[in-house]
Amino acid sequence: MSTDQPPAAAHPDIDPELEAIAAVAAALRPLSDQEKRRVVEWAAKRYGVEVAAPSTGKRVDRVTGRDGDEYEHFAELFDRAQPKTDAQKALVASYWVQAIEGKTQFSSVDVNVLLKDLGHQLSHIAVAMSSLQARKPSLVLQLKKSGSSRQARKTYKLSTAGIAAVQSSIQAGGFTEE
């Protein structure tokens, strides 16, 4: 007589969703936080599921850059990227909000709050964001605009080129061009 558990189909009272959750939890248990995130992101994309980022504003404990260094705080990433212009500062902060905090879209307020905390608040954040949009290829994409005035709240996301620009600056230890 076998001591193996019978397949789930033999237990009709077991919820298949709970069984799937247990299987996912078991598969993720031995992985690091970053590996877990990548696996969950892949699964969400693979199965067409939209996963909202936590809106707690809580940052990831540690972030490993392509250079192998770890960044626990935005200040560390900012220092490594060495942005010189207002547009570069806005780009690095946008990268933190999107790539590190996991927000799929963000406002200029989200970006400027990070910069303000470091003493680098931009007095003309809209100008910086517009210059990032005007680059070819665009480094930031405007997704929507709420309101009719020129100063209306805008929602952005980084383009692939924007992400690559920040990653290059991190790897090089600073921006090489304006």
Which H, E and C letters describe 40-107, residue by residue? HHHHHHHCCCCCCCCCCCCCCCCEECCCCCEECCHHHHHHHHCCCCHHHHHHHHHHHHHHHCCCCCEE
Residue 59's pLDDT is: 42
Residue 133's pLDDT is: 95
Residue 60's pLDDT is: 42
95 and 132 Cβ atoms separated by less than 8 Å: no
Residue 151's pLDDT is: 66
Delimit the CATH 1.10.10 region(s) of the chain: 63-172
- Describe the crossing of helices 86-95 and 108-117 by its angle, rounded to 10 degrees: 100
CA-CA distance, 156 to 136, in Å (whole number)? Answer: 16
**24 versus 114: which is more confidently predicted?**
114
**pLDDT tens digits, one per residue of 5-40:** 545 455 566 778 788 888 888 998 998 888 888 888
How does residue 97 score in pLDDT terms, banded at 50, 70 and 90?
very high
Residue 12's pLDDT is: 64
Domain 63-172 fold is Arc Repressor Mutant, subunit A (1.10.10)
Residue 83's pLDDT is: 95
In the chain, the percentage of residues whose pLDDT exceeds 70 is 79
**Highest mean predicted confidence (pLDDT) among 69-78, 106-115, 148-157:** 106-115
**47 versus 138: which is more confidently predicted?**
138
Spatial CA neighbour of 61 closest among 18, 100, 116, 113: 100
Residue 69's pLDDT is: 61
How many CB atoms sit inside 10 A of residue 138's CB? 15
Q: What is the mean pLDDT of residues 107-131?
A: 92
**pLDDT tens digits, one per residue of 42-85:** 888 888 777 655 544 444 444 555 445 667 789 999 998 999 99
Residue 62's pLDDT is: 47
Length of the chain: 178
Residue 45's pLDDT is: 81
Structural tokens at position 51 = 């996963």
